[in-house]
Amino acid sequence: MIKLTDVTKKYGTKRALEDVNLTLSKGKLIGLVGENGSGKSTTLKLIAGLNHPTCGDITVNGEKVTRKIASSVSYLSELDEYYRFFTVKDAIEFQASQFVDFDIEKAYEIMKFMKLEPQQKLKHLSKGNRSRVKIVLTLGRNAPVVLMDEPFSGLDPMVRNSIVKGLISFVDLDKQLVLITTHEIREVENILDEIVAIRDGYIIAHHNVDDIRKENKQSIVDWMTEIYA
Amino acid sequence: MGAWLALTKKEFRLGFPVFITALILYAGMMVGAYFLGKQIDHEEALILMAFMFVMGVHILFLVFYLHYTLSSERKRLHLWLHTPMSIAGLLLSKLFTGIVFMAVTFVVTLSASSLFFNQNIDFFNEQTIYNIMGLSTAVVFNGAIWLAVTFIFFWSIFLTFSQQMNDFLSFILTFMLFLITGWVYGLITSMGFVETITTWGPIRVDDIIVGFEFGYMDNAFEANTLSEASIFYIGHFIRDLIVSIIMFFAACWMIDRKVEV
Amino acid sequence: MADLFHSSKPIYEQIAELIKKQIIRGELHAGDKLPSVREMAIEVNVNPNTVQRTYRELESMEIVQSKRGQGTFVTGNTAVLAAIREEMKAEILQNFTRQMYEMGYSKEEITRGLANFLDEGSIRDD
């Protein structure tokens, strides 16, 4: 589904990713974890076709990634930037006009679930509610690949919980692959299928989370502490 | 097409502040000129000068507009570029809304002025007024679009540079590149054989205004348009058109391949 | 919500455990329909794939049966259900006795203690 082959990414002389090989399969909720600056966001941007690898190949569904991959990848940025003159409804309708796989009914359902009102202007929303809008716009698409960059960062537990619930309720794992970056693993450890750990641009582990619990009799947090030690 | 129209609708909302600002600014200048003129008792002359000034500024409208709208997208490139639409589609939407805003501002300013001229100014005949207006339209729009495409081209270069270095350095480099390119372009177009292949299809425009002459006589301003027969070449126009198209697609290529979020 | 599970044990096993307890307590009867994978996932806040895995495991233990297009049902085979009941009892007793032995109590002390404890009614049967 997503395949990175010998991918290296440099920004100027700074190396962000080094020789990454990664295959992620369909129907999984996968966590990409690591410290700040370890290369998580870069990985997501490369898969979204918004950044370009210095060398190596990236494919999504067998298709070589360019910026046009946006038609099968729904990407949520960690940045809190949206067209602030839009209302929630405007934002949903705009997203629907730009992506053929956008399911308006589902989007309104997520909107209600997130307790947002269609007439609210984005510029009047709290940070937590703006994040909820981003979730509505990202999960409203029936895209085969959903990429979410730090969807929980800087949000209070209530919002984080509603996002986790939203993920479980509205992602269709029969058809979609979800890749989430986070450094708050506790938030998502119960909903992940797989975990990919990254450090200084290297992938250092890729496992099924229940296998880690079963084989190591360890919690994911303990396991991570161990591999990062 | 539906996606593009929806995008264009968004562009109208995003760029609206520039449109309003321009309208207020132009109206302010004309009204200011009127009152200043009234004080010194030469309102026609001042209005005319203000009008010419506004038209001059208006050539830059598209560039200002694009600068505003592209700068605001730059803050959210991850959003703007995360779309299956081509970069050409994204940029054309901005260019199109800019031209519409420009035309509306233009028409409003023009009709306000023509109303004023027809009522208050007796030293122009109607023919001359239409001449001025027709000519300003052609010159302003032609110039504005050429400048706009040039701006987009160099903005993409700036954005490409800014991936590697800070904004100040990128700007300096881009500006130097702009000067060098301009100089080289000037050299090329004036080269003998280039002149030969581009100078064709002459159009004679009789009675075209190339300047104004103001005279002070008997306590009244008198304005004469200096007219002479001018020759435009379709070849030159085609040359500029081709260069703009090349610049436009080069810009698209850079944003698509070189710019990262 | 996340505290529903121990973080060091596979979640699919913990959900299976929950369902088995519900069967033993009589909250789920033979032939009852289980919540759909998605409903269950939302209820306990885990990934639908995990619930899917739980149901698969339970099916391989013949505790549940999935009927194509209808959902997953507790087996009608009461012998299996009785066996779970026994199994769970055995498991708890085993843990209990292991701990008691570890503390050095004798067999007599354990049986006597347990009998007295039950007679005093310190713990109510639910």
B37-51, B79-93, C51-65, C70-84: the lowest-pLDDT one:
B37-51
Q: Which residues contact C30 (CB under 8 A, 6 or more apart)?
A: C74, C75, C76, C77, C78, C81
- Neighbours of B, requiring at least 3 CB pairs below 8 Å, are A
Query: In angstroms, what separates the C-alpha of A150 from chain B's closest C-alpha?
Result: 14
Which of left, alpha, beta for A6 (phi over 0: left; psi -120 to 50: alpha)? left
Could you give the number of structural domains in chain B? 1
**Could you list the residue range(s) of the whole structural domain that residue B34 is in?**
2-257
For B261, name the nearest residue in chain A, comparing CA atoms only: A50
Tokens of B18: 């520039």
Tokens of B41: 């008792």
Tokens of A201: 């641009």
Nearest to B250 by CA among B90, B8, B87: B87
Q: What is the 3-state secondary structure (H, E, C) of A7-75?
A: EEEEECCEEEEEEEEEEECCCCEEEEECCCCCCHHHHHHHHCCCCCCCEEEEEECCEECCHHHHHCEEE
Which residues of chain B are at the A interface, by a Cβ-Cβ cutoff of 8 Å? 2-3, 5-7, 10, 13-14, 75-79, 81-85, 163-164, 256-257, 260-261
The residue with tokens 């159009």 is: B203
Hey, which residues 160-219 in chain A have their CB within 8 Å of chain C? Answer: 161, 164-165, 168-169, 173, 186-187, 189-193, 210-211, 213-214, 217-219
Q: Which amino acid is at A213?
A: R
Q: What is the pLDDT of residue B169?
A: 95
Confidence of residue A17 (pLDDT cuts 50, 70, 90): very high
- Neighbours of A, requiring at least 3 CB pairs below 8 Å, are B, C
How many CA atoms are closer than 13 Å to the CA of C40, on its beta-carbon side?
21
Secondary structure of residue A83 in the 3-state scheme:
coil
| End-to-end Cα distance, chain B | 26
Average pLDDT over residues C37-42: 90
Q: What is the pLDDT of residue B129?
A: 65
Confidence of residue A20 (pLDDT cuts 50, 70, 90): very high
CA distance B140 to B57: 9
CA distance B238 to B197: 11
Q: Which residues contact B104 (CB under 8 A, 6 or more apart)?
A: B19
Q: Which residues contact B111 (CB under 8 A, 6 or more apart)?
A: none
Which residues from chain B sit within 8 angstroms of residue A137, using beta carbons?
Answer: none
The predicted-structure confidence for C86-99, as pLDDT tens digits, reads as follows: 988 999 999 999 99
CA torsion angle for B38, B41, B43, B49 (degrees, to 10)? -120
Query: In angstroms, what separates the C-alpha of A6 from chain B's closest C-alpha?
Result: 20
CA distance B3 to A186: 40
Chain B within 8 Å of A54 (Cβ-Cβ)?
Answer: no
Instruction: Classify the complex by whether its ipTM is higher than 0.90, answering yes or no.
Output: yes
Q: Which of C5, C13, C41 is opposite residue A168, by nearest beta carbon?
A: C41
For C10, name the nearest residue in chain A, comparing CA atoms only: A210
Q: Compute φ and ψ for C47, nearest 5 degrees.
A: -65, 135
CB B101 within 8 A of CB B68: no
Chain A within 8 Å of C74 (Cβ-Cβ)?
Answer: no
Domain A2-228: give its CATH architecture: 3-Layer(aba) Sandwich (3.40)
CB contact under 8 A, C49 and A189: no
Chain A within 8 Å of C3 (Cβ-Cβ)?
Answer: no
Q: What is the pLDDT of residue A122?
A: 95
Average pLDDT over residues C54-67: 92
Q: What is the pLDDT of residue C101?
A: 92
Q: Put the strands of the sheet holding A177-182 in their side by side order.
A: A73-76, A145-149, A177-182, A29-33, A194-199, A202-208
Are chains B and C in contact at 3+ CB pairs closer than 8 Å? no
Average pLDDT over residues A199-208: 93
CB contact under 8 A, A97 and B82: no
CB contact under 8 A, C11 and A210: yes
CA distance A213 to A209: 6
Q: What is the pLDDT of residue B119?
A: 64
H helices of C6-106, where?
A: 11-24, 37-44, 48-60, 78-103
Q: How many helices (H) and strands (E) does chain B have?
A: 9, 2
Whether A74 has a pLDDT exceeding 60, the answer reads: yes
CB contact under 8 A, A210 and C50: yes
Cβ-Cβ contacts under 8 Å between A and B: the total is 60
Q: What is the pLDDT of residue B219?
A: 47
The predicted-structure confidence for A157-177, as pLDDT tens digits, reads as follows: 888 888 898 899 999 988 999
For chain A, give the mean pLDDT. Answer: 93
CB contact under 8 A, A169 and C7: no
Those residues of chain B that have pLDDT short of 50 are 207-223, 226-227
Average pLDDT over residues A91-117: 96
Q: Which amino acid is at C18?
A: L
Hey, which residues 13-42 in chain C have their CB within 8 Å of chain A? Answer: 13, 38, 41-42
Tokens of C27: 């909250």
Secondary structure of residue C33 in the 3-state scheme:
strand
Hey, which residues 88-147 in chain A have their CB within 8 Å of chain B? Answer: 93-94, 97-99
Which residues from chain B sit within 8 angstroms of residue A71, using beta carbons?
Answer: 84
Nearest to C78 by CA among C26, C37, C17: C26
Q: Which amino acid is at B161?
A: F
